Structure 1
Amino acid sequence: MSTDLSAVDEWKRWHEQRVETVSGPHGPLSLVGTHWLADYPEGQLPAIPGQWTEDGEEVVLRAAADDGLLLDGRPFAGEVRLGTDGGASASRVVLGERRLMVMRREGAWAVRDFDPASPARRAFQGIEATPYDADWSLPGRFSPYGSENTIQVENADGRARGLGLGGELAFQVGGVEHTLQATVEADGSLWAVFADASSGQGSYRFRFLRTPAPGADGRVTVDFNRVTLPPCAFADHFICPFPPPGNTLGFAVEAGERNLDGRSSV
């Protein structure tokens, strides 16, 4: 193991911020339901007042005053047309301390219910993570595909969905080159869903790797110290994609977030 004190301190701050984020009132641990509107044609969602129906590019919410919903911070009664929210913190509709986030995936609408009183949030003990090791911060190179390649992969909720892959991220471990297929985000950064030899045996069954946007020459730092658990490690109602074919590494990545404290690997 090799270390750099400034990098160690930065990693510690990153880890502390991650714990604060996931354990926040409306962080991943507070998700208690993802309700797909197509499964509720009458618009009555479990434990959520009002009538929620999809209408093309919008969701229509109808509610009475005694439903207790707030829209944009004010008591709501009547009908409103909603688009997608930018996350739980941007949810326009709330119920008490709960935030009801409107989302869309591949044309399908859903409402997510974030409740600060969730059992998962109350039981949270922390994130098990391996201390920073400079040997896991590796030089890499990204080779983009000619165009985005969308493949169907199984998601944590048992449904297959499209995963857009923009190229291959190459790096070496122990003098051997390995590659991961990665998604190119809107800001140019990379995101890869991967498993490794420790998955389910010391680490969660799969994890997320993110890198900054590669340089013009494709070079980028691949820092496994900042590998994160997927949202579905915190709540069963997330729809995280499983690793695509070829994204299971044959060695153990003993770095980054490994599991939730107090929980066995699954």
Structure 2
Amino acid sequence: MTDQATRPAAEPEVPGGLATFVEEWEEWHAEHQRVRADKHGFLAITSINWLDEEPTRFPDAPGAWSTGPEGVTVRLDEGEELVVDGAVVHGTHHFGVIAERDSLYPGFGEAVIEVAKRGGHDIVRPRHPDNELRTGYTDNPAYAPDPRWRLSGRYVPFEEPRPITVGATVEGLEHVYESPGTVEFELNGETHRLTAFNGPTPGSLFALFTDATSGVTTYAANRHLAIPAPDAEGRVVLDFNRANNLPCAYTDLATCPLPPAENHLPVAIEAGEQLPPPRPAKA
């Protein structure tokens, strides 16, 4: 669906030259595949379970699980055990109150159980390395790295950070992220703007977005773009070659956030990860 009217027009200079640019992208892409296929990664999740005050057992995890004002609790029957922070536990174990978007990973056998809070709800997601979704995963297709999609931009901070509520791939679930500002960039003489959220390292940012390729050659719900910290003048680099899929592209057991409405770009960003490979057929 290449449209020259929506592609960067000039061949920009890249640090280290084209060969280095391609090599670094290939390393980035390979690392994403490695993390995605990790034995306890998202592809290993076998169920998502929303906890309440009633102790409930699940077929892919030991114990009866519940939550309440004091946080998450598991009651293990005789012969059942978990490994928590390197120690074997039996009987009743209290995990306490878990912060939003935090996760704990007690283990049992070759598996782990993610105990987490998402959208204000406590959940349990067992992760089994032999899950067919993980063992059948193959490399995710991506557009060939192209320096023309490494764009210069401007960071425009808000006077005060703003809480931004976004939807989720789980119906009825909402996420709240703090946005310190927007990032602006130009494409074919037009200015585009993305609401940005705080990234994992101090000063870094990320954006969730869709564009004219979404649902055609790229995942329909969203893509994620990491943005290094702005420099002293507010300049940023948006390398769309590194736009990647969130876990919801691969499993229905994820709670991924959706982009804010203003982050739909009316152009085709033909860079970064494309549609995920087909999922293994269920038996």
Query: TM-score, normalised to structure 1's length?
Result: 0.89
CA distance in 2, matches of 1:61, 1:82: 8
Give the number of the structure whose residues are more often strand, by fraction. 1
Q: 1:54 aligns with which of 67, 73, 85?
A: 67
Following TM superposition, by how much is the alpha carbon of 1:57 offset from its aligned partner in structure 2, in angstroms? 4.8
Quote the residue 1:183 is aligned against: 197
Runs of 5+ consecutive residues of structure 2 not aligned to the other structure: 1-9, 12-16
The counterpart of 1:33, out of the listed 33, 47, 55, is 47
Please give the per-residue CA displacement for 1:193-235, whole angstroms capped at 9, x wherever unaligned: 1000000001111211111111232211011011010111122
Residue aligning to 1:77: 90
CA RMSD of aligned residues (A): 2.3
After TM superposition, give the deviation of residue 175 of structure 1 in Å: 1.8
Encode CA deviations 1:63-122: one digit per residue, 9 max, x unaligned: 13412433334442122221549977x61x212211111111343211121111112112
- CA–CA distance in structure 2, aligned partners of residues 138 and 250 of structure 1: 17
Verify the 8 A CA contact 2:199 2:226 in the aligned structure 1: no
**What residue in structure 1 maps to residue 135 of structure 2?**
122
- How many pairs align? 260
Structure 1: gaps of 5 or more residues? none
- The equivalent residue for 1:217 is 233
Question: Which residue number in structure 1 is paired with residue 14 of structure 2?
Answer: none
Matches within 5 A, 1:243-262: 243-262=259-278
**TM-superposed deviation, 1:46:** 4.6
State how far apart, in whole Å, the 1-side matches of 2:28 and 2:134 are: 20
1:227 alignment partner in structure 2: 243
How many Å separate the matches in 2 of 1:141 and 1:101? 38
1:88-127 equivalences under 5 Å are 91=105, 93-127=106-140
Can you list the C-alpha shifts for 1:140-198, whole angstroms capped at 9, x where unaligned?
A: 11112222322332210112413323211100111211001111235221111100000
Q: Tell me the TM-score normalized by structure 2.
A: 0.84
Contact persistence 1:125–1:260 (CA under 8 A) = no
Moved more, 105-114 or 221-230: 105-114
Tell me the percent identity: 33
Q: Counterpart in 2 of 1:194?
A: 209
Please state whether the residue corresponding to 2:231 is helix, strand or coil. Answer: coil
For 1:145, the equivalent position in structure 2 comes to: 158
Separation in 2 of the partners of 1:215 and 1:44? 51
